[in-house]
């Protein structure tokens, strides 16, 4: 019974996507990709022959056309729907049983009197737009470790318009994702529509467990989300612990570890951490040389900014390169920038002048990168049961890598799809040339999706039973008595036969 009603449901949704248009309508005609389109061309078919032409180059000679005579497509004069047996004309209505993308476009119909009089009438052009109907709607909730809750909605289909309601009240419209108050609690519905169909999905959300989550037991009654909340709370506690430990570690590293040391005769580029200290060794024996540091901007010795160093000191008057930057000094032949800025990136040349007048030069490429900030990992359990881990951090030129329970996963991306049953510690490691960082969180299998699925299935069974019963009643109520009589008669006959046989 369930199967039958399921089928009925399917047929019904399929029927819903059939579209009806007519020539002379003022609005465009929207057709659902893969579904049926009926276009009324004229009412009295015995009176007219027709020519349907698709306007591609707006050239009556070359644009594809289809001639209809006596309410029948003339196969030989129809390059517009050639090889498409699913396109027919019935009672002056063009019927396309399975719309394809190429059916989009502007069409014109010309009517000719079938009695041979050569007057023709043009109908107003019809614009046909094909849109893929909306598939299943999925809603996922992301609780980022920073405490923001974001609901995201996804669906197949063209030209989607989204709208949201929370406990029946509509929220700001328009986008596929929406940021919610971290304390949001209730039923959130994403509605998706386009010109040919619509769909929606409602899920129940519980507040994101922030650092101030009161107690785990208070949420223990809510069957749907309790395990998720539990896991998240536990996760947050772990994160707190790791955070404290890691924070201290990183603090120690940050204050000393981000200082960079380069030298002018090094082969590789020099990487400096934005906002941190850069030491560039220029010369070991400072007594012997005067120096000129020049930044190569236009590779022009006259106009590019320079800084002259004499007797191990920057000559303020001859230093437009580091003008007004008191944190830049030279000590013992080493250029020291206490707070590197982005503009320090570039190619530099240091020229050393001996007191006897001879000169040597070396080049250095300096790249400034923002160091890695705190690393955040968030887990998304989508209602389709896919688990996705996403990693975020500040910093330039980030390289990501992942491990699950110590085993490394595929490298390279800031987010990674996991098996929905994933269980264990997942670590996101981020590095660039000047720093690195990582974050480990504990993940438990996606329970949300399981619960939603179970709920969904229960609803399906319920509707199935109701629908099926309804149909069953309608189908049988008429024939019931008749059937009963028939069956009784057959039964009696069979009984008599068996009696005779024996």
Ligand X SMILES: *[C@@H]1O[C@H](CO)[C@@H](O)[C@H](O)[C@H]1NC(C)=O
What does the binding site for ligand X look like in residue numbers (CB under 6 A)?
24, 42, 44, 46-47, 59, 61-62, 70, 90-91, 105-106, 121, 123-124, 127, 167, 172-175, 186-187, 204
DSSP summary character for residue 266: -
How many Å apart are CA 205 and CA 167, to the nearest integer?
Answer: 10
Min separation Cβ 281 and ligand X, Å = 47
Min separation Cβ 42 and ligand X, Å = 5
Residue 110 near residue 119, CB atoms below 8 Å = no
- Give the nearer residue to ligand X in terms of CB position, either 167 or 413: 167
- Give the nearer residue to ligand X in terms of CB position, either 70 or 476: 70
Residue 145, both tokens: 């470790």
Min separation Cβ 117 and ligand X, Å = 11
Residue 356, both tokens: 């006897």
Min separation Cβ 223 and ligand X, Å = 12
Min separation Cβ 61 and ligand X, Å = 4
Question: Terminal CA-to-CA distance of the chain, rounded, Å?
Answer: 39
Min separation Cβ 37 and ligand X, Å = 16
- Give the nearer residue to ligand X in terms of CB position, either 161 or 216: 161
Min separation Cβ 487 and ligand X, Å = 37
Closest CA to 448 of 146, 161, 143: 143
Task: Tell me which residue has tokens 């040339």.
Answer: 433
Task: Provide the pairing of β-strand 126-131 with 29-32.
Answer: parallel
Min separation Cβ 174 and ligand X, Å = 3
- Give the nearer residue to ligand X in terms of CB position, either 189 or 334: 189
Residues 201, 206, 208, 210: what is their CA dihedral angle, to the nearest 10 degrees? 180
- Give the nearer residue to ligand X in terms of CB position, either 204 or 338: 204
- Give the nearer residue to ligand X in terms of CB position, either 106 or 414: 106
- Give the nearer residue to ligand X in terms of CB position, either 168 or 478: 168
Who contacts 446 (Cβ-Cβ below 8 Å, separation ≥6)?
Answer: 381, 385, 386, 387, 420, 421
Min separation Cβ 25 and ligand X, Å = 9
How many Å apart are CA 347 and CA 304, to the nearest integer?
Answer: 11
Min separation Cβ 421 and ligand X, Å = 27
- Give the nearer residue to ligand X in terms of CB position, either 101 or 342: 101
- Give the nearer residue to ligand X in terms of CB position, either 100 or 241: 100
What are 401's strand-pairing partners? 429
Rg (CA), the chain: 37
Residue at shortest CB range from ligand X: 174
- Report phi then psi at 449, rounded to 5: -60, -40
Closest CA to 341 of 321, 363, 361: 321
Residue 23 near residue 109, CB atoms below 8 Å = yes
Residue 272 near residue 434, CB atoms below 8 Å = yes
Min separation Cβ 19 and ligand X, Å = 18
437 burial via Cβ count (<10 Å: 0-12, 13-18, 19+):
buried
Q: At what angle do helices 2-16 and 447-501 cross, to 10 degrees?
A: 120
- Give the nearer residue to ligand X in terms of CB position, either 178 or 441: 178
Task: Tell me which residue has tokens 């996606």.
Answer: 446
Strand order in the sheet with 399-404: 407-408, 399-404, 424-431, 436-443
Residue 37, both tokens: 């389109």
Residue 292, both tokens: 């000129």
Min separation Cβ 245 and ligand X, Å = 35
Angle at 149 (CA atoms; ends 143, 155), nearest 5 degrees:
95
- Give the nearer residue to ligand X in terms of CB position, either 102 or 302: 102
Residue 114 near residue 69, CB atoms below 8 Å = yes
- Give the nearer residue to ligand X in terms of CB position, either 23 or 400: 23
Cα–Cα separations (whole angstroms), residue 262 to 319, 334, 336: 21, 9, 10
């Amino acid at each position: 019974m369930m199967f039958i009603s399921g089928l009925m449901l399917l047929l019904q949704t399929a029927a819903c996507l059939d579209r009806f248009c007519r020539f002379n309508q003022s609005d465009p005609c929207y057709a659902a990709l893969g579904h049926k389109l009926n276009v009324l061309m004229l009412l009295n078919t015995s009176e007219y022959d027709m020519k349907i032409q698709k306007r591609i180059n707006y050239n009556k000679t070359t644009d594809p056309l289809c001639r209809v005579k006596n309410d029948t497509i003339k196969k030989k004069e129809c390059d517009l729907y050639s090889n498409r047996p699913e396109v027919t004309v019935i009672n002056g209505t063009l019927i396309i049983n399975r719309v394809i993308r190429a059916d989009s476009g502007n069409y014109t119909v010309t009517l000719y009197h079938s009695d041979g009089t050569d007057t023709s009438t043009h109908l107003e052009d019809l614009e046909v737009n094909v849109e893929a109907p909306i598939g299943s709607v999925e809603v996922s909730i992301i609780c980022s470790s920073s405490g923001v809750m974001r609901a995201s909605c996804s669906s197949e289909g063209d030209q989607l318009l989204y709208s949201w309601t929370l406990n029946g009240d509509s929220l700001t419209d328009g986008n596929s994702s929406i940021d919610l108050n971290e304390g949001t609690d209730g039923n959130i519905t994403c509605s998706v529509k386009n010109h040919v169909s619509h769909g929606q999905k409602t899920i129940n959300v519980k507040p994101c467990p922030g650092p101030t989550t009161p107690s785990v037991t208070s949420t223990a009654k809510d069957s749907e989300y309790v395990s998720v909340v539990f896991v998240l709370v536990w996760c947050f506690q772990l994160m707190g612990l790791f955070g404290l430990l890691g924070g201290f570690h990183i603090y120690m590293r940050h204050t000393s570890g981000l200082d960079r040391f380069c030298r002018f005769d090094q082969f590789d580029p020099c990487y400096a951490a934005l906002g941190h200290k850069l030491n560039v060794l220029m010369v070991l024996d400072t007594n012997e040389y005067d120096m000129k540091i020049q930044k190569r901007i236009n590779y022009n010795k006259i106009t590019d900014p320079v800084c002259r160093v004499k007797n191990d000191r920057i000559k303020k008057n001859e230093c437009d390169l580091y003008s007004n930057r008191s944190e830049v000094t030279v000590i013992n032949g080493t250029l020291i920038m206490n707070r590197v800025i982005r503009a320090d990136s570039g190619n530099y040349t240091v020229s050393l002048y001996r007191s006897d007048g001879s000169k040597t030069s070396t080049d250095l490429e300096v790249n400034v990168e923002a160091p890695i900030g705190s690393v955040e990992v968030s887990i998304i359990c989508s209602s389709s049961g896919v688990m996705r881990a996403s990693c975020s951090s500040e910093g330039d030129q980030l390289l990501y890598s992942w491990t699950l329970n110590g085993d490394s996963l595929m490298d390279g991306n800031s987010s990674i799809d996991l098996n929905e049953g994933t269980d264990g510690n997942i670590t996101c490691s981020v590095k660039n040339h000047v720093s690195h960082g990582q974050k480990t969180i504990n993940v438990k299998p996606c329970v949300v999706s399981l619960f939603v699925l179970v709920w969904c299935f229960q609803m399906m069974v319920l509707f199935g039973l109701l629908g099926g019963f309804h149909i069953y009643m309608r189908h049988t109520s008429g024939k019931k008595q008749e059937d009963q009589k028939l069956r009784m008669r057959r039964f009696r006959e069979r009984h008599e036969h068996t009696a005779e046989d024996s």
